[in-house]
Amino acid sequence: MRTWLSSKRAQYMDHILRGYSGPISSICDSCGISRAVWRCRTCIDRRPQCALCFRLAHQRDPFHRVEKWNGRYYLKAALWQVGVKLDIGHHGQQCPALPDKVTIVRPSNEPVDCLAKRWNMSRSEVLPRISMALDRPDEDME
């Protein structure tokens, strides 16, 4: 144990603390353009990415646990916030028999209600912001 403490302790502590610290660089390593504020707790590579690169990387991994950097610490987040959609059937692609724009009524409006409460807005004020955020994923809407 003493051998481990003297030779490996600092290395292990650095690794543990790195898991709680913010992004080293504010620019996405994948595209080199946008702000890197998203990271995945499930993926082996936990480097932060911008919303667009993160969405592309997780399109086929919709159940990963993700977090978003808020400037001080990482908050639990969800992949729907970067625009990941779960299409059932057709190998993850939208059904070709459906029109391009389909409105799906969900039994739970929890994500919308959560944002409305967080931003102190009504649902009708939040919905356009969500739409705008998904159209421009590299801009911070808060």
Q: What is the mean pLDDT of each run of 10 residues along the chain (142 residues)?
A: 78 72 77 88 88 88 89 89 76 65 49 72 75 57 48
| Orientation angle between helical segments 123-135 and 110-119, nearest 10 degrees | 100
Q: Rounded distance, CA 130 to CA 97, Å? A: 26
**What pLDDT is recorded for position 65?**
92
**What pLDDT is recorded for position 68?**
92
**What pLDDT is recorded for position 94?**
66
**What pLDDT is recorded for position 140?**
53
**What pLDDT is recorded for position 12?**
77
Decide if 80 contacts 98 (C-beta within 8 A): no
Decide if 29 contacts 47 (C-beta within 8 A): yes
Q: Rounded distance, CA 26 to CA 50, Å? A: 9
- The first and second tokens of residue 9, run together, are 């302790």
pTM of the model: 0.55
- For residue 20, give the DSSP letter: T
